[in-house]
Amino acid sequence: MAVSSPNAFQSTSIAFKAYADDVFGHEGRRAPQFGMFCALDSTDRFAVEHDVLEALPVVREWTGSRQEPDAQFATVRGIARTWEKTFSEDRKRALSGAADGQLLRRLMMWLGSPDMDLDKIATDFLVSNPTGYDGVSLFSSSHPRGPGGGTQSNTSATALSGAQHRSVMVSGSSFGDVYGEPFGIQYDTLMVGPALAPLARELTGSTRYAAINASGAEATSAVVAAAEVQSANRLTIYTGGELNVVVNPRFIGTSLANKYLYLDTSKQARPIVAYRYQGGSRVVERTQDTDQSRWSQDRYEWAAEHDLVLVPGAWQVAFYGGT
């Protein structure tokens, strides 16, 4: 056993690394949930200058001299930060679990998919309401540089209702730039938590649902009544109505259960952008006898890490509200 257990552990470690390389090595893969409000990109720069071209001069009849108004251009800056989750196991238990494959199964379940980690990171950043490129919060009632120099709002403290739904839809389609040109916003998605899902379906007239797996493929489709139970790794989208209704399982608790997020996903722009810094995600393990955790605590450790630069993007494509 003194020989077979370490050998089994080594085999477990090799298999785990192979699995980690596979699931962490798919750059650009996008989970269906956070992909609706977060654009993914990559960078090798620690500090990213995210440029936004908000408005360009519009056509006019040429009478007299040409007019040369300025383009509306802004930049928001973000720096690379690291997120982690760490799993540790007593050395003796790890060796025992490696012998029958239990350790590998636990490690693979814990690792999961990096998309699930990115989903939490992106959601947390979105609802933190960071300061955007125009100097106000991403969701604000005072976005500057609206038509005629006025302000515009993409947020509300009003609860979701029929009247509020109609108001938000009109508000989004009325957004325009400083020159009066409409942004062409047409919300096509309403994201809510489980508590607001029945109301959201009623307001939008959604009649069917599609269960989407972690790869973004439609797994099943059925009538709405059968959609109440969904697995933790799937996203449920209710379709067939005025808007698609997305049930975000992270919109729960006293602070998020009654929130709602309208999105125009037809645009390439998203309200936030995540840059993967130099590859973004990786797995680190400390399983050698010379590692500090083994030396001082007789434990093995594994960590999943994500290096990302998060910046607010286009506020125009999203409306966030609720009580």
| Whole-number pLDDT of residue 2 | 43
Q: What is the CA radius of gyration of the chain?
A: 24
> How many CB atoms are located within 10 Å of the residue 230 CB?
15
Q: Which of 77, 78, 74 is nearest to 52 (CA)?
A: 74
**pTM given for the model:** 0.83
pLDDT at 284 over 50: yes
Q: Rounded distance, CA 125 to CA 37, Å?
A: 11
| Whole-number pLDDT of residue 228 | 43
Helix 102-111 × helix 4-24 angle, to 10°: 20
| Share of residues in the chain with pLDDT > 70 (%) | 83
Q: Rounded distance, CA 204 to CA 160, Å?
A: 12
| Whole-number pLDDT of residue 239 | 86
| Whole-number pLDDT of residue 55 | 67
Q: Rounded distance, CA 39 to CA 270, Å?
A: 6
| Whole-number pLDDT of residue 219 | 52
Structure tokens at 42: 């990559």
Q: 8 by DSSP, 3-state: which?
A: helix
pLDDT at 267 over 80: yes
Q: Choose between 73 and 256: higher pLDDT.
A: 256
Q: 19 by DSSP, 3-state: which?
A: helix
pLDDT at 21 over 50: yes
pLDDT at 112 over 60: yes
- Number of helices and strands in the chain (H, E): 8, 14
| Whole-number pLDDT of residue 14 | 87
pLDDT at 264 over 90: yes
54 DSSP β-pair partners: none
| Share of residues in the chain with pLDDT > 90 (%) | 54
Q: Choose between 243 and 221: higher pLDDT.
A: 243
Contact 192, 204 (CB under 8 A): no
| Whole-number pLDDT of residue 270 | 96
> How many CB atoms are located within 10 Å of the residue 179 CB?
15
| Whole-number pLDDT of residue 231 | 40
SS3 content of the chain, % helix, strand, coil (to 5): 30, 30, 35
**Would strands 155-156 and 318-322 be described as parallel, antiparallel, or unpaired?**
parallel
**Would strands 189-192 and 81-90 be described as parallel, antiparallel, or unpaired?**
unpaired
pLDDT at 281 over 90: no
| 168-200 pLDDT tens trace | 999 999 999 988 889 999 999 999 999 999 999
Q: Which of 101, 109, 48, 104 is nearest to 79 (CA)?
A: 48
Contact 321, 155 (CB under 8 A): yes
| Whole-number pLDDT of residue 58 | 63
| Whole-number pLDDT of residue 143 | 96
Beta strands in 96-217 (DSSP E): 155-156, 189-192, 208-212
Band (pLDDT 50/70/90 cuts) for residue 28 is very low
| Whole-number pLDDT of residue 153 | 98
Structure tokens at 87: 């799993």
Q: Which residues lie closer than 8 Å to 184 by C-beta, 6 or more apart?
A: none
Band (pLDDT 50/70/90 cuts) for residue 259 is very high
| 38-95 pLDDT tens trace | 999 999 999 999 887 776 666 767 878 776 766 667 888 999 999 999 999 999 989 8
Contact 289, 232 (CB under 8 A): no
- Mean pLDDT over all residues of the chain? 85
Band (pLDDT 50/70/90 cuts) for residue 321 is very high
Q: Rounded distance, CA 13 to CA 101, Å?
A: 11
